[in-house]
């Protein structure tokens, strides 16, 4: 497939910035343009050479590119769709958000069923964020989920797939709602639980004393508790119904496990833990 001529990226955080870096390094696009709300971020990106040029107006960038990647917080994506509709409604677009159904629906609502927006979600985030967290090879062997709808243009899907594969990613396709349900468990629920675990700690009186006794287990388990609060509030509320479902599922399981403990059902509990260890090891080797 032909490489890209002018790719524009709006939002130059960990994901957007790392895409830019990779596009330049792998020479996937002749030009890489960037737009961010913060001039300082754009200047940094330009200085590091991960974009060829930045724009002070999003409108101008939209009229100068043939592929737009929206790498911004979920709640503002709609605003960018509105600008695209006005200036270049047939522009090929993708995004990188962790929730898909809401965004895909908004794209169709704003840009119509012939919109050339194809949703994407690179599972490559971390607790770090922002332009300073930009990382070479971030997408190598990482999973990217593409979430077309029945209205999506086949050639647009192909181009977006080609784009991600060019960055070294493994591409899977899911319906937007299926994506949200699965990621609601594999990603959103663990984040919600870890935040809640730290919140439980915050409500304790003897925090200073307790703090001496955290081990590596706690640190690894709660690393994602350092994640960007705005981004995760955004994700949780965009996938609210699904997440509430998963929290309830977890609550039920936790109650069952607690019940085995309270009722001294040691053998049954041990049997479960053995299965849990086995499954956890299988997940990693899958």
Restricting to residues 121-140, which ones interact with a second copy according to CB under 8 A?
Answer: 123-127
d(CA 147, CA 78): 17
Residue ranges in 175-214 that form contacts with a second copy under rule CB under 8 A: 182-183, 185-187, 189-204, 206, 209-214
Total site size for a second copy, rule CB under 8 A:
88
Q: Quickly tell me which residue has 């629920």 as its tokens.
A: 189
**Segments in 141-188 forming alpha helices (H):** 154-166, 176-183
Residue ranges in 154-173 that form contacts with a second copy under rule CB under 8 A: 172
d(CA 32, CA 50): 8
Residue ranges in 221-280 that form contacts with a second copy under rule CB under 8 A: 221-230, 232-233, 236-237, 240, 243-244, 246-247, 249-251, 253-258, 261-262, 264, 266, 269-270, 272-277, 279-280
Binding residue for a second copy, selected from 23, 145, 160, 167, defined by CB under 8 A: 145
**Closest residue by Cα to residue 83 from 105, 51, 107, 119:** 107
Should residue 2 be labelled a site residue for a second copy when binding is judged by CB under 8 A? no
CB of residue 80 to a second copy, shortest distance in Å = 21
The DSSP element (H or E) to which 6 belongs, if any, is strand 4-10
The dihedral region occupied by 28, where left means phi > 0, alpha psi between -120 and 50, and beta the remainder, is: alpha
Should residue 28 be labelled a site residue for a second copy when binding is judged by CB under 8 A? no
For a second copy, the closer CB: 28 or 257: 257
């Amino acid at each position: 497939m032909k490489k890209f001529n002018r790719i524009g990226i709006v939002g130059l955080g960990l994901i957007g910035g790392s895409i830019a870096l990779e596009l330049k390094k792998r020479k996937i696009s002749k030009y890489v343009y960037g737009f961010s709300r913060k001039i300082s971020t754009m200047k940094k990106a330009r200085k590091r050479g991960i974009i060829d040029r930045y724009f002070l107006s999003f409108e101008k960038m939209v009229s100068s590119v043939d592929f737009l990647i929206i790498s911004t917080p979920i709640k503002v994506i709609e605003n960018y769709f509105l600008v695209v509709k006005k200036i270049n409604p047939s522009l090929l677009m993708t995004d990188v958000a962790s929730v898909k159904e809401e965004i895909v629906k908004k794209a169709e609502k704003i840009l119509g069923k012939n919109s050339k927006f194809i949703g994407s979600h690179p599972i490559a985030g971390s607790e770090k964020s922002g332009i300073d967290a930009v990382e070479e090879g971030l997408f190598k062997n990482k999973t990217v989920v593409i979430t077309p709808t029945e209205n999506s243009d086949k050639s647009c899907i192909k181009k977006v797939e080609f784009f991600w594969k060019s960055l070294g990613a493994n591409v899977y396709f899911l319906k937007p709602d299926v994506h949200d349900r699965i990621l609601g468990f594999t990603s959103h629920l663990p984040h919600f639980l870890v935040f809640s675990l730290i919140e439980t700690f915050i409500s304790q009186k003897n925090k200073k004393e307790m703090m001496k006794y955290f081990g590596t287990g706690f640190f690894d388990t709660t690393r994602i508790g350092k994640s960007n609060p705005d981004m995760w509030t955004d994700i949780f509320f965009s996938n609210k119904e699904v997440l509430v479902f998963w929290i309830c599922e977890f609550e039920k399981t936790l109650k069952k496990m607690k019940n085995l403990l309270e009722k001294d059902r040691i053998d049954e509990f041990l049997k479960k833990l053995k299965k849990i260890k086995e499954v956890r090891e299988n997940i990693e080797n899958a």
